[in-house]
Amino acid sequence: DKEAKEKVYIWIAAYQENGDQDAQYNLVVHYKNLVESIARKYSQGKSFHEDLVQVGNIGLLGAIRRYDATFGKSFEAFAVPTIVGEIKRFLRDKTWSVHVPRRIKELGPKIKNAVEELTRELQSSPQISDIADFIGVTEEEVLEAMEMGKSYQALSVDHSIEADSDGSTITLLDVVGGTDDGFERVNQRMLLEKVLPVLDEREQKILQYTFIENRSQKETGELLDISQMHVSRIQRQAIKKL
């Protein structure tokens, strides 16, 4: 209703102007159902639903900080794409982590470095054989890594493989460095790293693992020797503090 909407903008202004933590908390509570519904759309009952809720909340926090009413857009119209974008990036990274063998992922930076070095040395684009010799692997492994890069694009929630329709190719080189280097991801990482000091050591580690390193709650629990449920509870406490 109108009164609730007015409160939202009062809270946003209070947080942006004075860093009012109560106002921020009120906004997180107010939009809890919105974040839940968006997360449910993408989790579709899978085990990582709670992860998506937490990622969605990070997107919401970013939207609260960056919203500018002078652009004439409602907060919801600004927040929803921000939340969705954060969730999509998490799923894209999760897909990459789950589906690509470790040895292929490890080849990515090596291939990228080889291409840069060889291009400078040869003054032209290197052949597959040049890259393989430079790294010390077979041509088949280089080709497999590049092919996995294209497969990753097809598996991602954005289905970016459609960019190939003009005859161009998407290789692992397009993926490596691109996954985490978008403005939003860098912005969120900087944001998290800036506010982490207000949390205790365990809360810092949990947000570091789950949001900056994109680890699942289960994996985070194993690293800290606590249950996934405990990770989720501490994560929620940390977000409330932020």
The amino acid present at 58, given as its one-letter code, is I
For residue 166, the tally of other CB atoms under 10 A from its CB is 6
Contacts of 158 (CB under 8 A, 6+ apart): 88, 92
Same domain flag for 91 and 195:
yes
**Is 235 within 8 Å of 54 (Cβ atoms)?**
yes
Q: Do residues 55 and 122 share a domain?
A: no
204 with 166, same domain: the answer is no
Give the integer Cα–Cα distance in Å for 135 and 130: 9
CA–CA distances in Å: residue 34 to residues 4, 80, 176 = 15, 8, 33
The Cα–Cα gap between 10 and 39 comes to 26
Note down the domain range covering 159. 100-175
pLDDT given for residue 238 in this prediction = 81
Residues 235 and 128 reside in one and the same domain? no
What does the chain come to in residues?
242
* Chain centroid, CA 15 distance in Å: 24
CATH number at residue 112: 1.10.10.10
- Out of 129, 154, 175, pick the residue that ends a domain: 175
Q: How many separate domains does the chain show?
A: 2
Model confidence pLDDT, tens digit, residues 185-195: 444 555 555 55
Q: Provide the token pair at 30.
A: 């107010």
Whether residues 22 and 85 share a domain: the answer is: yes
Compute the distance between CA of residue 63 and CA of residue 112 in angstroms, rounded to an integer: 34
Share of the chain above pLDDT 90, in %: 21
Within 13 Å of residue 28, how many CA atoms lie on the same side as its CB? Answer: 24
Q: Are residues 125 and 233 in the same domain?
A: no
How does pLDDT run across 63-118, given as a tens digit for each residue? 999 999 888 888 988 899 899 888 888 887 665 555 556 677 778 788 888 888 88
What tens digit of pLDDT does each residue of 199-228 get?
788 888 888 787 767 778 888 888 999 988
Packing angle, helices 183-195 and 75-99, rounded to 10: 100
- Choosing from 149, 175, 201, the residue where a domain stops is 175
pLDDT at 186: 47
Domain boundary among 175, 191, 210: 175
